[in-house]
Amino acid sequence: MDVRSHNRTAWDRNVDDGNRWTQAVSTKAVNDARDGRFEILLTPRKPVPMEWFPDLGGLSTLCLASAGGQQAPILAAAGANVTVFDNSPKQIEQDHYVAQRDGLKIQTKEGNMADLARFPDDAFGLIFHPCSNCFVPNVIPVWQECHRVLRPGGVLLAGFVNPVRYLFDDERKENGNMEVRYRLPYSDLDHLDESHVREIVDAERPLEFGHTLEDQIGGQTNAGFTLTGLYEDGYEESDNDPVSRYMSTFLATRAVRQGNLLFVVNGTGSW
């Protein structure tokens, strides 16, 4: 199964269906951001704390798997030099739409979040990566690539799903009868029976993967990042999400790429 190809179709379909994460921001939100007032999301509800952002003026910024006309236009209006990189042409079209409507400059490229080969080393000062790595089978290369394309001192803002969401029998989520069923790490392809996978594929819904916290957080530190912030978030009560009644099931992290240290003792270069 070509996961990336299927998920491209599925996210294009989400745009056609008006899914919440595909809806473009308003002109008012863009104009507010031009005046320095904005809120953007890495997770379902809580805005990213303002102190998490570096100075955005002219900052080379990668919105990674973050198309949909939401975060990129706001960051561009706030002064950043934004590139959107996403797998779904229709999601990317949402960013083009806002850019054209509101006179913003946003570059876009289509591709896979786990392979940023088209960007040189040290290309960005900020990467904004909302909850989207649940759509790739392996998250480790994503962190490694983020580290490579961020310059030393650059900031990685990431949202991701607590894998606890994937423990339960998916078919029972809606009526709230949550039965622990799946072992983590979770994969739609490995854990669901064939007919269930077929149902997802036929309905053009995205295939999902529940990565361990070791891969999510340890993956960042192993790639060379230092964590400088973390919060949890969840759905609203009105979203009727049974797991969210018990705990917050999304996380956001702020991480910094450590600088390259050069030790020179007495000008001799020896230790």
**Please, what is the minimum distance in Å from the beta carbon of residue 5 to ligand SAM?**
10
In this chain, which of 78, 86, 215, 252 binds ligand SAM, going by CB under 6 A?
A: 86
- Answer for which of 24, 53, 61, 66 binds ligand SAM (CB under 6 A) is 66
Residue 61 interacting with ligand SAM (CB under 6 A): no
Matching residue, tokens 């990042």: 225
24 lies in the binding site for ligand SAM (CB under 6 A): no
CA distances from 251 to 108, 178, 244 (A): 26, 21, 13
Contact region for ligand SAM (CB under 6 A) — 62-70, 168-176, 221-229, 245-253? 62-70
Is residue 83 part of the contact set for ligand SAM (CB under 6 A)? no
In this complex, which beta carbon is closest to ligand SAM, that of residue 91 or of residue 248?
91
C-alpha distances out from residue 218 to 95, 123, 132, 156, 157, Å? 32, 23, 18, 14, 15
Contact window for ligand SAM (CB under 6 A) among 45-53, 128-136, 215-223, 228-236: 128-136
Lay out the site mask for ligand SAM across 90-109 (x = CB under 6 A, - = otherwise): -x------------------
Under rule CB under 6 A, residue 135 binds ligand SAM = yes
249 binds ligand SAM (CB under 6 A): no
Alpha-carbon distance 169 to 181, whole Å? 5
Under rule CB under 6 A, residue 82 binds ligand SAM: no
Q: Which one, 59 or 131, has the nearer CB to ligand SAM?
A: 131
Encode 131-193 in three state secondary structure.
Answer: CCHHHCCCCHHHHHHHHHHEEEEEEEEEEEECHHHHCECHHHCCCCCCCECCCCCEEHHHHCC
Instruction: Output the smallest distance, CB 188 to ligand SAM, in A.
Output: 13
136 scored as a contact of ligand SAM (CB under 6 A): yes
Least distance (Å) between residue 88 CB and ligand SAM: 3
Scanning 84-92, 178-186, 216-224, 225-233 for contacts with ligand SAM by CB under 6 A, the matching segment is 84-92
Q: Figure out which of the listed residues 73, 125, 130, 219 binds ligand SAM, where binding follows CB under 6 A.
A: 130
Q: Integer distance in angstroms from the first to the last C-alpha of the chain?
A: 53
Binding site for ligand SAM (CB under 6 A): 4, 7, 11, 21, 41, 65-68, 70-71, 86-88, 91, 112-113, 130-132, 135-136
